[in-house]
Structure 1
Amino acid sequence: MLIESEFDIQFHLPQPIAMVAMLHVHPSIEPQLVTEDLIRVEHIGPSDGGDGVRELPVLEYLDCFGNRCTRFLAPAGAIRLAGRHILNASETRDPQGYGLSQTPVEQLPSETLQFLLASRYCQVDQFGAIAQDLFGHMGTGWALAAAIRDWVHAKVTFNYGAARPTKTAADVFSERIGVCRDFQHLAITLTRAMNIPARYVTGQLGDIRAPYSSPGDFSAWYQIWLDGRWWDMDARHNEPRLGRVLMAVGRDAADVAITTSFGRADLKHFYVESNEIDSEGRKVPLPPKLPATTEPVLSSQTTFPASR
Structure 2
Amino acid sequence: MRIRLGCELSYAFPDPTPMIVMLNVHPSRVPALEGDDALRTEPPVLVETYRDSFGNLCGRLVAPAGNFTIGTDVVIRDGGLPDPGEPEAEQHAIEALPAETLLYLLPSRYCESDLLSNEAWRLFGHLTPGWSRVQAVCDFVHAHVTFGYAFSHRDRTAMDAYAGGRGVCRDFAHLAVAFCRALNVPTRYCTGYVSFIGEPEPHATGDFAAWMEVFLGGRWHVFDPRNNQPRIGRVMVAFGRDAADVPLTHTFGPNALVGFRVWADEVAALAALPDALPGAVEPPQTMTTRTA
Alignment TM class, shorter chain as reference: over 0.9
Selected match of 1:210 from 181, 199, 208: 199
Selected match of 2:263 from 273, 292, 298: 273
Query: What amino acid does structure 2 have at the position aligned with 1:26?
Result: H
Matched residue, 2:249: 259
Matched residue, 2:8: 8
C-alpha deviation, 1:128, in angstroms: 1.3
Matched residue, 2:34: 34
Selected match of 1:142 from 131, 138, 142: 131
SS at match of 2:39: strand
Matched residue, 1:233: 223
Matched residue, 1:219: 209
The yes-or-no answer on 1:189 pairing with 2:178 is: yes
SS at match of 1:112: helix
Q: Which runs of 5+ in 2 are unaligned?
A: 272-278
Once the two structures are superposed, the pairs formed by residues 1-308 of structure 1 within 5 Å of their partners are: 1-43=1-43, 55-211=44-200, 212-278=202-268, 282-283=269-270, 297-299=281-283, 303=287
- Give distance in 1, aligned partners of 2:237 and 2:225: 18
- Give distance in 2, aligned partners of 1:302 and 1:97: 33
- Give distance in 1, aligned partners of 2:88 and 2:152: 35
Residues 201-222 of structure 1, C-alpha deviation per residue, up to 9 Å, x if partnerless? 0001121121232111111111
Query: What amino acid does structure 2 have at the position aligned with 1:204?
Result: Y
- CA contact under 8 A between 1:8 and 1:83: conserved in structure 2? yes
Query: What amino acid does structure 1 have at the position aligned with 2:267?
Result: I
- Give distance in 2, aligned partners of 1:67 and 1:81: 18
- Give distance in 2, aligned partners of 1:257 and 1:296: 20
- CA contact under 8 A between 1:270 and 1:298: conserved in structure 2? no
Query: What amino acid does structure 2 have at the position aligned with 1:206?
Result: S
- Give distance in 2, aligned partners of 1:299 and 1:181: 11
C-alpha deviation, 1:7, in angstroms: 1.4
Residues 119-138 of structure 1, C-alpha deviation per residue, up to 9 Å, x if partnerless? 01000110111111000111
Residues 108-148 of structure 1, C-alpha deviation per residue, up to 9 Å, x if partnerless? 11111111101010001101111110001111011111110
- Give distance in 2, aligned partners of 1:203 and 1:300: 11
Residues 173-194 of structure 1, C-alpha deviation per residue, up to 9 Å, x if partnerless? 0011110000000000000000
Aligned residues: 281
Query: What amino acid does structure 2 have at the position aligned with 1:32?
Result: A
Matched residue, 2:274: none
SS at match of 1:93: coil
SS at match of 2:18: strand
- CA contact under 8 A between 2:8 and 2:259: conserved in structure 1? yes
SS at match of 1:126: coil
C-alpha deviation, 1:101, in angstroms: 1.1
C-alpha deviation, 1:74, in angstroms: 1.4
- CA contact under 8 A between 2:249 and 2:285: conserved in structure 1? no
- Give distance in 2, aligned partners of 1:146 and 1:28: 25
Q: Which runs of 5+ in 1 are unaligned?
A: 44-54, 285-294
- CA contact under 8 A between 2:3 and 2:264: conserved in structure 1? yes
C-alpha deviation, 1:302, in angstroms: 5.6
- Say which is worse superposed, 207-216 or 99-108, in terms of deviation: 207-216
Q: TM-score, normalised by structure 1?
A: 0.88
C-alpha deviation, 1:301, in angstroms: 8.7
Q: TM-score, normalised by structure 2?
A: 0.93
Residues 268-307 of structure 1, C-alpha deviation per residue, up to 9 Å, x if partnerless? 11111110112xxx528xxxxxxxxxx9614489628xxx
Query: What amino acid does structure 2 have at the position aligned with 1:40?
Result: R
Query: What amino acid does structure 2 have at the position aligned with 1:158?
Result: F
- CA contact under 8 A between 1:115 and 1:251: conserved in structure 2? yes
